[in-house]
Structure 1
Amino acid sequence: MILTWPADLPRPERPSWQLTSQDARRKTQSDAGPARYRRRFSSAAKLVTLSVILTRDQKAIFDRFFHEDCAEGARLFYMPDPTTDGWALLTSDGTPLLTGGGVPILMAARWLCSWGDQVPVETIHGQVEFKKSFNLQVMP
């Protein structure tokens, strides 16, 4: 069974967001001229660095999810894609698409993730909040 990111945790904050693709190329240096590249493997993961600001209760949920549910970060889990999930579907001119009842239609997307090389780092944020910074690998 694959775990699911706890719904009680907030969306990642925007300033810490960083996404890059895993390099799927193999570099070959020639005797003369520029290096050549070819594919090393057919699919590459996305590497994401992010952070969340948590209340004390949310910190307990996050810690339990990482340490117990994910076995110290060893298990895969599904996470809502923060760049897509819950955002309104828009027309070409930026107007939200609405249902017959006038409610915006929201997009849904999720990632299959593994914890990255950096285990979560915790810092105190403000008076009573905690900031958890971590890396994820989003599976292709």
Structure 2
Amino acid sequence: MAHPEWPAELPRPERDSWQTQLQDSRQKRLAEAGPPGWARRFSSAARLVTLSLILSRNQKAIFDRFYERDCAGGVRLFWMPDPTTDGWEMLSASGETLLDGAGNRLLLSARWLCRFGDQVPVESIVGQVEFRKRFNVVVLP
């Protein structure tokens, strides 16, 4: 069974709430004397990402359906565009936008294989007609 794809109708995450952290793959070794040492506990670490989305009522329904049905209440793996890379312009070393032969901008593409993290999505109302969904994902190595 193929992994579900993050719905294209959903907006990019808010910048203010964005937070990422590597999973700690170290194990502390206690010494009888001197400073503690560290050893690898496992060889590849996941990335833990906290984010939020501002959604219209329709986008909220799309998110809820994706979480409940497509991801089985947040337990299935899914593909998500990497918000820090996917869709951004490709730049030259001098910072100029790169173009193809027809003059179209070249865009970067990247995606994550991830699952919803420990925190289930939290919803709040923003203004009169929008919703904020806060949640975290575990990005697999």
TM-score for both structures, normalised by structure 2? 0.98
**Structure 1 residue 82 and structure 2 residue 83: aligned?**
yes
Counterpart code for 1:6: P
- Aligned equivalents of 2:36, 2:13: Cα separation in 1: 38
SS at match of 1:4: coil
* Partner in structure 2 of residue 33 of structure 1: 34
* Partner in structure 2 of residue 5 of structure 1: 6
Counterpart code for 2:66: F
Counterpart code for 1:70: C
SS at match of 1:114: strand
- Aligned equivalents of 1:26, 1:62: Cα separation in 2: 37
- Aligned equivalents of 1:102, 1:16: Cα separation in 2: 35
- Aligned equivalents of 1:50, 1:136: Cα separation in 2: 8
- Aligned equivalents of 1:88, 1:69: Cα separation in 2: 30
- Aligned equivalents of 1:34, 1:92: Cα separation in 2: 43
- Aligned equivalents of 1:23, 1:128: Cα separation in 2: 39
Instruction: List, as ranges, runs of 4+ consecutive aligned residues in structure 1 with deviation greater than 4 Å.
Output: none
* Partner in structure 1 of residue 131 of structure 2: 130
- Which is further off, 128-137 or 93-102? 93-102
* Partner in structure 2 of residue 91 of structure 1: 92
- Aligned equivalents of 1:127, 1:139: Cα separation in 2: 37
Residue segments in structure 2 that go unaligned for 5+ positions in a row = none
- Which is further off, 31-40 or 47-56? 31-40
SS at match of 2:21: strand
- CA offset at residue 32 of structure 1? 1.2
- CA offset at residue 45 of structure 1? 0.2
TM-score for both structures, normalised by structure 1? 0.98
Residue segments in structure 1 that go unaligned for 5+ positions in a row = none
Which runs of structure 2 are paired with 1:99-110 in the superposition (5 Å)? 99-110=100-111
- Aligned equivalents of 2:135, 2:44: Cα separation in 1: 23
SS at match of 2:63: helix
- Which is further off, 70-79 or 25-34? 25-34
* Partner in structure 1 of residue 66 of structure 2: 65
- Aligned equivalents of 2:46, 2:127: Cα separation in 1: 34
SS at match of 1:65: helix
SS at match of 2:103: coil
